[in-house]
Each structure stands twice: as C-alpha cells, then as structure tokens.
Chains A and B, each alone.
Chain A
Amino acid sequence: MSTLSVAPAKKLNNIILQDINKSYSKGDNNVVVHDKFNLAIKSGDFVAIMGPSGLGKSTLLHLMGGLDRPTSGHVEIGGQRIDELSESKLTRWRADNIGFIFQSHHLLPVLSAQGNVELPLSLTPLNKKQRQQHAANALALVGMADRAHHFPKELSGGQEQRVAIARAIVSDPQILLCDEPTGNLDRKTADEILALLKKLNNDFGKTIVMVTHDLKAAEYASRVINLEEYIALGVEAQGAQIPQEQQSILVGE
C-alpha cells in the first residue's frame, strides 16, 4: 500500500444512487427525506452538494459512505451494491474505500496529530514503522509535518481540520466524503482547506463529494448540485441533469 496513489491506480469508483427512498420515523410520523432520488457521480469528480437545510444533503453523503442504508433503492459504488452488504462487510468496505471529513473533526484528544492519522492504519496489516511513515507522509501533504506531535488542544481549528483530512486520506481511499468541511473555519483557513481538497482531486484523482452551504466553497468543485432545484426537476429530469458523460453510469454502460 502506498500512501497516496494517483488515479487511476485504483479501479474506477463511480457513485450511483438509483431510485433512492429514504424515510425515518419521528414519533408517530414517517418523515420522507428522499423519494425516488437518482444521482451519478463519476470517479475522479469533485461534486459540491448545496441547498437549504432539511433537504437531505448529509443523508446522501451518509448513504454514499455506507453510514446509513436507504429504505429502498440502490447504492452502488465501484460496481458494488453497498446497501446489500452486511454490517461487518460494510465496516470493512468503509475502511478500504472511503475517507470522511466532518465539520467537527472528531480527533481523539488523547492522541497526537500523528497518532490520530495513524488510527485508520491500525486496521491494516502495516507494521509500526510503515504506519508511522504513511502518517508522516499524509501530514506532510496537508502541511502539518511540523505539528505531528502536537495534540488537538494545541492546534487551531484549521490545523485540526488538516489533521482530519490527513486521517481521511492516509489509507488511500478513492472517495472522500466531506460534510461541511469548512463550516467552522474563517474564510482564509477555509480557502486553504478547499485548495487542499482541490489538490487531492486534481493531483491524486480522488473522487470528492462535499456538502456545503458556502457558495465560495462550491467554486472549487467541478460540478455543483443545488439539491432544491435538482429535486424539483423530478425523477425523470434528474437523470437528464446528470452530465452527458456521466449518464452512461446510470444506465450501466
């Protein structure tokens, strides 16, 4: 395993959400979040999902990352139906294929930046030295090499988010799912983080799906989906909204 590989070293990881229904119970009510929702994202794309709160942006991200399951419909990543995987297989699949970046970085306060980045590697067969090397490389990539031995409480918000990005990419997943990654940051720091994500997309071919409210953040993406408008188009039109070169994904070509 190399620290980070340049696409297309891994097989293509197209993301397909097909006929997704997602609802949940809230008290006596059944709340429908998505109804026959379709979306295709091509491997190597950088997609920003925008829209007002309550439309199910984060839910989409959780479905793509296998953190949640659709009530009905298909979630297919790299040709694999992840909605059909058992809980243990899904956990393993997440470790191998997905990097998560949350608005709250959720770094472990008892571990240094290096320790936090090494965390996902403890699930791999790498030895201690290899894990340390990989973590150091990832930290260097996000510009945090000189803060490797600092603990989260000793880092600024932007630095913490960089460490969280390093943690997300250290095991070289092909897909990065970012939920409001700059939501807690000032403009300058947010731009630095977004530039970093862009770099990961451009230089390493990572597929990035980012949920954001920030219009400026969306400018870094190669494709922006305004979820409100997208849903308003209806089921048939959603397919038409998918760029020509990505429509073949949905029809399985």
Chain B
Amino acid sequence: MNLLELVFRNSFRKKTRFTLTCLSVVVAFFLLTTLAGIDHALNASVSNSNQYRLMTSHKISITRSLPINYQQKIKALAGVENATYVSWFGGYFQNEKNQLAVMAVDHNTYFDIFDEYKIPAEQLTSWKSTRTGLVISQSIADKYDWQIGDKVPLSSSIWMNKSGSFNWEFIVSAIYQRQDNTTDSKRIFFQHLYFDKARAYARNMTSWLSTQIKTDVDDEQVSKAIDKLFNNSDAATRTTTEQVFIKEQAQQFVDMAMVIKVVLIAVFFTLLLIVCNTMIQVNRERLNETAMMKAIGFSSLSLVKQVYLESLLMLSLGAILGSLLATLTLSQVQLQFADFLPGIAIDPSHYLTVFFLVIGAAGLCSLFPAITIKRLIISETLGARA
C-alpha cells in the first residue's frame, strides 16, 4: 500500500459519483477543445495576413464597386510599392452546395503582391496568356479531380455574362500550393480582363483594391492618403490594413465566437463548482478517517496532497477523454466543413492550456478541503467522550 494506491482507491470509492462528476469534466473539456478548433479556423486568415498590405473598399459598403482606374492613382502615391484590384465572383460548381471562393483579379499584378501563392512559373505564364484561365488550389484540384487544361463550368449567383447566362466557362491553367490550411487554399482566381469584358454590367468597376506599401512607411499615413485621394469623388473609399479588413469580414463569426466563449466560461466555472462541491462532500464524509490519519502521524500537507491528487485524477481523466473526443469529432467536422470553414484544427499549444487548466482546477478544487483539513481538531472530530 502506498499513498498513490490510496488515492486511486479513494477515487473509485463511490463509482457512480465519480463517473458522473468525471462526465461533467468530459463535457466541459469537449466544449473547450471544440471551440479552440473553431477559433483556430476563424483566426487563421487574420494571423496569416500581411502587415504591408492595405485593403481599399467603398466607404459605404464593400458590396459597392470602385472604379478600376483607382489602381493607377493609388500606385502614384508616395510609399506605395504596388496596387491591384479584385472583384468577388462567388460561384459554385454544378450545384449551389458546391460553393467556391472565386475572384477575378488583375493578372498583371495580383500574384506579385500576394506572393504566398506558390505557382510554377510556366503555369503562371500560361494563365496570364489564357483569357479564361483559372488558378486553383491543389485541394480543389484533388476534390473535383481537375487537371491543367480541363474545361470547367462555374456558375455565379451574382454575375450574368453578355449572353444572358449565369454560367461561365473556364480552363484550368495553374495550380497553386500553400503550406498552411486556411481559407485561401479554397480560393480560385481568374483574369479580371475576361470578367470585365464578358459581364453584362458594371464594367470598369472592381470590388476592392489591395495596395502593397513599402516596408519603411507608416501604413496609417498611406491609408489616409488613399482615402483623401478619393474623398470628394462619387466613390469615396475606406482603407485599412489587411488584418483589420479580414477581421471585419469575419466579424459575424468572431462575435459568435465571443458568445460561445462567454457561454463556455460559464459552463467551465459551473463545472469547477461541481467538482469543488464533490471534493468538499468527499472530504466531509471522510472527516473521521482524516482525523484518524492525522492522529497516527499524517501531516496536514500530506492529507491535502491526497485530496489534490484525487481532484487531479478526476479532472485529468475527464480532460483527456473530453479533449480526445473533441479532437476526433473535429477531424470529422473538418472534412464536412472544409469549404465553409477551413482551417479547423487544434493547435498543439491548446493541449498545454488544457494541462495547466487541469493543474489549476485541481488546486482550486482542493482549496476548501485543504482549509478544513488544516483546521480540523482531531480530538473534537474523533469525539472527546469525557
């Protein structure tokens, strides 16, 4: 018999209570880990954004277009390295369930600024010279089994072409690679020139512009200069850093995450109270045994250590099971929501957070029993039958 064995045996003394309390820990850590995975996806694009890129959209709403000629005016500003423009096409393949992030981009400048897309040089050249060319990601190519040279029909729910159809024809010209697994890996690009000539309306207009600034200039200053440039025009602009822009776009998700986080914190603290209460109850039931152990020479510290280890065992088991279950669930969710919310993953540092949470929660749950043990008067507890 050693103390660890005693802790283990004491833990499973009331199996139903242990199992139910442990299950509540499982649920809390399942929620925590699941949220961490979703949070990772929501923040992935933001953390991957470039600090030297500015995004310019219509001052009123991003749904309003800007003149394409803004590109040249922005380029002429001091501190600007390069500028490009992008139009949102949206689109889907075959049916609306297969939604895709399709964008029309300026083929001359876009990939110079967004150099995180790794495209073989010959494919990039081929795409630039193919008016209806598409640049797709490896994951899209794998998913739909598309290869270079394949003709691909894509439909847009926004843009009608001059023939009065919402169906557009493309040819796969290039496939890009990305190291990470973010929203960008689901993006598809085609030439804005083709888009502009083929669409039925809104010619010479674009959804937004991206500006690459020089590394030694203040982004805020350049942003102000851009907006000032168009302040008195029909299409006034609002320029922010790429990080702020992406954050704003994801605002609805982030807000949702905030709500989930608040709910989760509430759930987690309720769980702590449950485990705390269990440990207090356990300690109260064993007061006589605790007093006896103190009488035969166990120090208060040693007895508190036992309570701590008991809490730790319960929380660890729950945390391991909950986190494991969430990790398995997320791996399935990731497959199902790959297009809608890519980047669902558990950062390894999350497990470290779980580890420290368990250590801390065990300490918190042992606090009240520790005070009771410390204050316990042996003679009173064992009954001074004078």
| A and B associate | yes
Q: Which residues of A contact B (CB under 8 A)?
A: 33, 53-59, 62, 65, 67-68, 87-88, 91-92, 94-96, 100, 102-104, 106, 108-111, 114-115, 118-120, 122-123, 128, 131, 167-168, 179-180
Q: Contact string, B1-22, partner A, CB cutoff 8 A, digits 1/0?
A: 1110110011001000000000
**How far apart are the CA atoms of A131 and B10 in the complex, in Å?**
21
A54 x B2 contact (CB < 8 A): no
- CB within 8 Å of A: which of B366-386? 377-379, 382-386
Distance between Cα atoms of A100 and B13 in the complex (Å): 25
Give Cα A187 to B10, complex, Å. Answer: 34
Instruction: List residues of chain B with CB within 8 A of the CB of A68.
Output: 377-379, 384
For A168, the closest partner residue in chain B by CB is B296
Check B2–A94 contact: CB distance below 8 A: no
A104 to chain B, nearest CB (A): 7
A67: contacting residue among B6, B293, B379, CB under 8 A: B379
Whether A106 lies near B1 (C-beta < 8 A) is no
> Assuming A111-B9, A128-B2, is B292 touching A106 (CB within 8 A)?
yes
Q: A59-B384, A62-B384 are in contact. Are A91 and B6 (CB under 8 A)?
A: no
Task: Indicate which residue in A53, A120, A122 contacts B3 across the interface (CB closer than 8 Å).
Answer: A122
Contacts of B256 in A (CB 8 A): none
Known: A55-B386, A91-B299, A119-B1. 14 other contacts (CB 8 A): A33-B386, A58-B386, A91-B297, A92-B297, A95-B298, A102-B292, A106-B288, A106-B291, A108-B289, A111-B9, A114-B1, A115-B1, A119-B6, A122-B2
Query: Taking the nearest CB of chain B, how far is it from the CB of A167, in angstroms?
Result: 7
* CB < 8 Å neighbour of B385 from A118, A119, A180: A180
Task: Please report the C-alpha to C-alpha distance between residue A179 and residue B289 in the assembled complex, in whole angstroms.
Answer: 16
Shortest Cβ gap from A184 to chain B (Å):
12
Q: Is the interface of B mostly helix, strand, loop or mixed?
A: helix
Please tell me if the beta carbons of B296 and A100 are within 8 angstroms of each other in the complex: yes
In the complex, the chain B residue whose C-beta lies closest to that of A51 is B386
Give complex CA distance A94, B297 in Å. 6
Question: When chains A and B are docked, how far (Å) is the Cα of A106 from the Cα of B378?
Answer: 13
In the complex, residue of chain A having the shortest beta-carbon distance to the beta carbon of B13: A110
CA distance A103 to B385 in the complex (A): 10
- Chain A residue with the shortest CB-CB distance to B3: A122
**Number of B residues with CB within 8 Å of any CB on chain A:** 28
Residue B187 CB within 8 A of the other chain: no
| A contact residues around B377 at 8 Å (CB) | 68
B291-307 interface mask toward A, CB cutoff 8 Å, 1 = contact, 0 = none? 11111111110000000
From known contacts A88-B299, A91-B299, A94-B297, infer whether A111 and B386 are also in contact, taking CB-CB under 8 Å: no
| Bitwise interface map of B from 142 to 168 toward A, beta carbon under 8 Å scored 1, else 0 | 000000000000000000000000000
Question: In the complex, which residues of chain A have a beta carbon less than 8 angstroms from the beta carbon of B300?
Answer: 87, 91
Contacts of A118 in B (CB 8 A): 1
Check B6–A110 contact: CB distance below 8 A.
yes
Contact residues in A for B296 (Cβ distance below 8 Å): 94-95, 100, 119-120, 167-168
Interface membership of chain B positions 317-353, coded 1 if the CB is closer than 8 angstroms to chain A and 0 otherwise = 0000000000000000000000000000000000000
Write out the residue numbers on chain A whose beta carbons fall within 8 Å of the beta carbon of B384: 58-59, 62, 68
Q: Are A131 and B1 in contact (CB under 8 A)?
A: yes
Closest approach, in angstroms, between the C-beta of A118 and any C-beta of chain B? 4
Q: How far is the CA of A96 from the CA of B296 in the complex (A)?
A: 9
Q: Which residue of B lies closest to A170 (CB)?
A: B296
| In the bound complex, CA of A14 to CA of B377 (Å) | 26
**Closest residue to B377 on the A side, CB-wise?**
A68
Enumerate chain B residues within 8 angstroms of A100, measured Cβ to Cβ. 292, 295-296
Q: Nearest CB to that of A120 among chain B residues? A: B296
- A111–B289 Cα distance when bound, in Å, is 12
Minimum distance in angstroms from A152 CB to a CB of chain B = 11
- A91 partner residues in chain B, CB cutoff 8 A: 294, 297-300
7 cross-chain pairs, A with B, having the tightest CB-CB distances, nearest first = A95-B297, A106-B292, A110-B9, A115-B1, A62-B379, A68-B379, A118-B1
User: Shortest Cβ distance from A198 into chain B, in angstroms?
Assistant: 23
Measured between beta carbons, the chain B residues less than 8 angstroms from A131 are 1
B385-A53 in contact (CB<8A): yes
Q: Considering the chains assembled together, what is the distance between the CA atoms of A122 and B383 in angstroms? A: 26
Q: Which of A65, A92, A103 contacts B295 (CB 8 A)?
A: A65
Bound complex: CA A87 to CA B301 (Å): 12
A104 to B288: give the CA distance in the assembly, Å. 10
In the complex the two chains form, what is the Cα distance from A102 to B292 in whole Å?
Answer: 9
Please give, as numbers and ranges, the residues of chain A lying within 8 Å of B378 by CB-CB distance.
62, 67-68
Taken together as a complex, chains A and B put the C-alpha atoms of A17 and B291 apart, in Å, by 24
CB-CB contacts of B193-237 with A at 8 A, as 1s and 0s?
000000000000000000000000000000000000000000000
Minimum CB–CB distance for A100 against chain B, Å: 5
Most buried by B among A65, A96, A108, A168: A108
Task: Name which residue of chain B comes closest to A117, CB basis.
Answer: B1
Contact A57 B386 (CB under 8 A): yes
The answer to whether A67 and B295 have CB atoms under 8 Å apart is yes
Chain A residue at smallest Cβ distance from B8: A110
**A31 → B minimal CB distance (Å):** 10
